[in-house]
Amino acid sequence: MTMLSCPDRTAPAGSTSGLSVLLSTTSSDSHTWNMVFLHLLLEEAGHRVINLGPCVPDALLVESARRYRPDAIVITTVNGHGRIDGSRVVRALREQPVTRGIPVMIGGQLGIDGPSSDEQVRRLLEAGFDAVFVPAADPDELPAALARLLPSRPALKAGVHDGR
Ligand code: B12
């Protein structure tokens, strides 16, 4: 069957690029509306989204990153376990030669104590995240952060990063 009409997923004129973004939650997190919101936000910014859905096991996220080799990985989590699940999965991504250079960002409600502390953010960055969005962050910052992060990794964009 031929698709006669399909939505234009290319980047709008003037946007930085049309990046491929792997969107995931953490293994324990079943919330989905945050994913729907981010999926639409990223598509409206001109990016292509691969959405893994809720409760993504670490091994599936790592395997999906190996398979799709996205320009970036965005993790959304609101159930309060993000600081633990997120740290674990980003370490797993950093251990694999094929996935270690992919920019990874996390945001939502990262703990169970309301606004994320500086210490919580520091630990997530130390575990391997390139960017951490605290609850007070404006989600509209995400497309801008993607645009800022990726030009600093030209080899990755060209698909010739070590180990790929
Ligand atoms: C609906 C809901 C559920 C539904 C989810 C249904 C579904 N299909 O998604 C159900 C009933 C299943 C559910 C279950 C649970 N929930 Co619930 N849930 C909610 C609720 C009421 C709304 C969430 C929602 O859909 N919001 C709409 C979306 C669009 O907004 P959002 O999720 O806030 O995301 C925004 C921002 O966080 C931000 N953002 C999110 N991710 C990212 C990532 C990046 C990179 C960036 C930039 C921004 C960003 O952008 C989004 C848009 O502004 C919230 C309370 C609330 N009012 O927020 C609790 C809430 C998230 N749930 C909570 C809890 C505790 C649970 C349970 C553990 C309860 C239980 N004891 O079983 C389980 C979790 C199970 C699990 N395994 O994860 C807590 C989390 C506590 C915490 N973090 O400290 C909350 C905050 C309620 C509360 N006040 O206690 N929940």
Residue of the CA atom closest to atom 33 of ligand 1: 34
pLDDT class for 115, splitting at 50, 70, 90? confident
Separation between Cα atoms, residue 104 and residue 127, nearest integer Å: 11
Q: Angle at which helices 82-95 and 118-127 pack, to 10 degrees?
A: 20
In the block, residue with structure tokens 């091994």: 59
| Average pLDDT, integer, range 23-45 | 98
Strand ranges of the sheet holding 20-24, from the earlier edge strand across to the other edge: 48-51, 20-24, 72-77, 104-108, 131-133
Higher pLDDT, 37 or 15: 37
**Which atom of ligand 1 approaches the CA of 133 most closely?**
47
Helix locations, 26-76, DSSP H? 33-44, 58-68
Q: Mention the CATH class of domain 31-46+54-74+88-110+128-135.
A: alpha beta
**Which atom of ligand 1 approaches the CA of 77 most closely?**
41
Q: What SS3 state is found at 38?
A: helix
pLDDT at 155: 42
| Average pLDDT, integer, range 101-111 | 96
Q: 8-22, 23-37, 101-115 — which one is most confidently predicted on average?
A: 23-37
Instruction: List the domain boundaries for the chain.
Output: 31-46+54-74+88-110+128-135
pLDDT at 10: 40
pLDDT digits (tens, 9 = 90+) for 77-99: 999 999 999 999 999 999 999 99
Residue 139 has pLDDT above 50, yes or no: yes
The residue whose CB lies within 8 Å of the most ligand 1 atoms, and thus the one to mutate among 21, 28, 34, 77, is 34
Cβ < 6 A, ligand 1 pocket = 28-34, 37-38, 74, 76, 78-80, 105, 107-109, 112, 133, 137, 139, 142
- Asked if 44 contacts 11 with a C-beta cutoff of 8 angstroms, the reply is no
DSSP β-ladder status, 72-77 and 104-108: parallel
Residue of the CA atom closest to atom 91 of ligand 1: 31
pLDDT class for 151, splitting at 50, 70, 90? low
**Which atom of ligand 1 approaches the CA of 145 most closely?**
47
| Average pLDDT, integer, range 90-109 | 97
CA end-to-end distance (rounded Å), the chain: 35
| Average pLDDT, integer, range 67-83 | 97
pLDDT at 93: 98
pLDDT at 116: 83
The residue whose CB lies within 8 Å of the most ligand 1 atoms, and thus the one to mutate among 28, 79, 83, is 79
Residue 5 has pLDDT above 80, yes or no: no
Residue of the CA atom closest to atom 47 of ligand 1: 139
Percent pLDDT > 90 in the chain is 74
